[in-house]
Structure 1
Amino acid sequence: MKTILVPIQNTSAMKSTLETAVLLAQRTGAYIEGVPLWFGAPEFVVAELASSYSMETYRARREEETAGARKLFETFMQEHGVAAVRTTTDRPSFGWFAEVPPGEGLVGSHGRAFDVIVMSRPDAETAALYKRAIESGLFESGGPVVLSPPTAPKQIATNIMIHWNGSTEQARANALAMPLLRLAGRVTVLTVVGGQGVPGPSADQVRKQLRYNGIAVEAMNVELDGRSTGEAVLAAAKEQGCDLLVKGAFTRNRLRQMIFGGATSHIMEHADLPLWMAH
């Protein structure tokens, strides 16, 4: 896992996101690329509104926001000892790429050329556009998204928990996490008894798969005890001191999650550890 994409906004949440990205890059010797995440309208739309909003004003605002995002990103990397030029394969490096279109869709499209995308996890106050940017990464990039908690951990992927629910989405998340699972000192496969899940292979079969891949793995079963599946998963990860949770995203479709709730939505909005997610 050698390439990490970080969409940048000049917000307070970026500190934890960048700290998480640097931890991940230090773990794997990866290249981190920053791109500006800007939710302005496309230029052809602005051109149609030129009488009330000039193209010059639009471009000046975009250039100002892009410059601020770049300064935030590059200053952070330099302060944390990340090199602007790759020197050895085992040390992280960074770069900036500004030639991306505005809008949340760039996360999914540009993210297809990276091993993983790192973003801030949402909460109840997160703007809908940023949530759609996360979904773009999950549904359109073809790869995983790491969601950083409000406070970054001191280390990452040393003690990993997998929430096994039998689903295709979870199997994909597991497969994409293999490079980190092999690096981890401890891996636990969690089953929530009575929790949300779909028909599929048992947790024992998943542990067998991981062992054949050279990964020592432990089993853990928990009951709901009046909690939701998401609450039970996060409690188990906290109890075990995990620093990464591997979770398939949206096994139930997004509409059902919005109406009835779901483990993905709860975990995304309440996790205090990094999430490795894939759809």
Structure 2
Amino acid sequence: MKSILIPVEESELLSSVLDTALLVARRFGSHMEGLHVRPDFAGIIAATGMGAPYVVEDFRKEDWDSIQRSRQEFEQFLNRNDIPLDGGAGTGQPWATFRIEAPPGDDFIGQHARLFDLTILGQPSRGATPPRMSTLEAALFDGGRPVLVAPPTAPRRLGHTVMIAWNASTETARAVAFARTFLEQAERVFVLSVEGGLVAGPSAEEAARYLTRSGVPAQAMHVPQNRGVGETILEHAKALEVDLLIKGAYTQSRLRQMIFGGATSHILAMANMPVLLAH
């Protein structure tokens, strides 16, 4: 986890995102790149028909002001934590850069995320000004790399007690592979499966044996479902004081989860610990 992308959104959850990223960066000596998330003003103008010159100019000014606010907040965060900006490569210590020049809209987030080991974002359904779901989806579905979703309040530690929400899917197998660095440094690893929450594939016991054979001692747990798969996962994660939850994202389609709900949607909305997702 040597390179971390941090899409910087004007959200009340930003401080948790930055503090969570710093926990990872300090653990692995990572480079953190802050990237301002720019709204797609052209799309907004086209959709609303507000194309008058003065409206366009107002959008441009707000865009520039927002970039400057994001950069200032990012730099203040670095200064508070003695993290060097634009310097520090090769030292084995955290360092950072901030990218201003980026196209508007979320497409670039997904494309740019392919160059990083991890993208860290806030929960898109929490707070009065939450991070955008479209930004998370771009990173998750188009980035090809894992996404770490920070909780509303940053944890004091991360990756010491790890739970894998095992449902036997390819998405979960991919998430486990991406999380290997965290798993190898964890003090405790649990592989949790929930009754009624599995697709065809290996059991939690088989997954735990695989991890143990490959140098990551893991304990399997198969538990009855209580109200819902997502609720059950979070209940057990809380009871075990898990500080990193690993999950394959959207084994069901996004549309089905929007209509009927699903474990990923519930965890995204309610988790109080960092969640590493992969699709």
TM-score range, shorter chain: over 0.9
2:212 and 2:89 mapped to 1: Cα distance? 34
Deviation at 1:90, TM superposition (A): 2.6
Is 1:104–1:130's contact at 8 Å kept on the other side of the alignment? no
Alpha-carbon distance in structure 2 between the residues aligned to 1:138 and 1:154: 25
> What residue in structure 2 maps to residue 41 of structure 1?
41
1:26 aligns to what? 26
8 Å CA contact retained: 2:124, 2:131: no
Aligned residue among 154, 157, 181 for 2:156: 154
- Matched letter for residue 106 of structure 1: F
TM-score by length of 2: 0.92
Listed as ranges, the matches of 1:76-115 within 5 Å are: 76-84=77-85, 85-86=87-88, 88-115=90-117
Q: Give percent identity, aligned residues only.
A: 38
Letter aligned with residue 193 of structure 1: E
Q: Distance in 2 between matches of 1:246 and 1:44?
A: 35
Partner residue, 1:121: 123
Please name the residue that 1:187 is paired with.
Answer: 189
Post-superposition Cα deviations, 1:91-135, rounded to whole Å, max 9, x if no partner, equal: 111100111111122221111111110000122667798111111
Gap change, CA 1:44 and 1:11, over 3 Å in 2? closer
Trace 1:254-273 onto structure 2 (pairs within 5 A): 254-273=254-273
Q: CA deviation at 1:209?
A: 2.0
Read off the aligned partner of 1:91 and give its amino acid letter: Q
Output the CA distance in 1 between the equivalents of 2:57 and 2:123: 34
Equivalent position SS for 1:171: helix
Name the residue aligned to 2:250: 250
Task: Tell me, in whole angstroms, the C-alpha distance in 2 between the residues paired with 1:206 and 1:79.
Answer: 41
| 1:205 alignment counterpart | 206
Deviation at 1:42, TM superposition (A): 3.4
Give the counterpart of 2:143 among 141, 164, 174. 141
Give the drift of 1:44.
Answer: 11
The alpha carbon displacement at 1:246 in A equals 0.1
1:213-259: CA deviation from partner (whole Å, max 9, x where unpaired) = 2111112222114x200000001111111100000000000111011
String of CA shifts for 1:71-106, please: whole Å, max 9, x gaps.
Answer: 001110120122221154431111001111111222
Cα distance in 2, alignment partners of residues 242 and 125 from structure 1: 23
Distance 1:108 1:30 in 2: 20
Q: Contact conserved, 2:122 with 2:131, CA < 8 A, in 1?
A: no
**Kept in 2: contact 1:173–1:278 (CA 8 A):** yes
Contact kept, 8 Å, 1:104 with 1:129, in 2: the verdict is: no
Q: Matched residue pairs, number?
A: 276
Q: Mean alpha-carbon deviation: is it higher for 81-90 or for 183-192?
A: 81-90
Scaled by the length of structure 1, the TM-score of the pair is 0.92
Q: Distance in 2 between matches of 1:93 and 1:129?
A: 24
Contact 1:10 1:72 in 2 (8 A): no
Structure 1 consecutive aligned stretches of length 4 or more whose deviation exceeds 4 Å: 43-46, 124-129
Q: In structure 2, what is the Cα distance between the partners aligned to 1:132 and 1:9?
A: 12
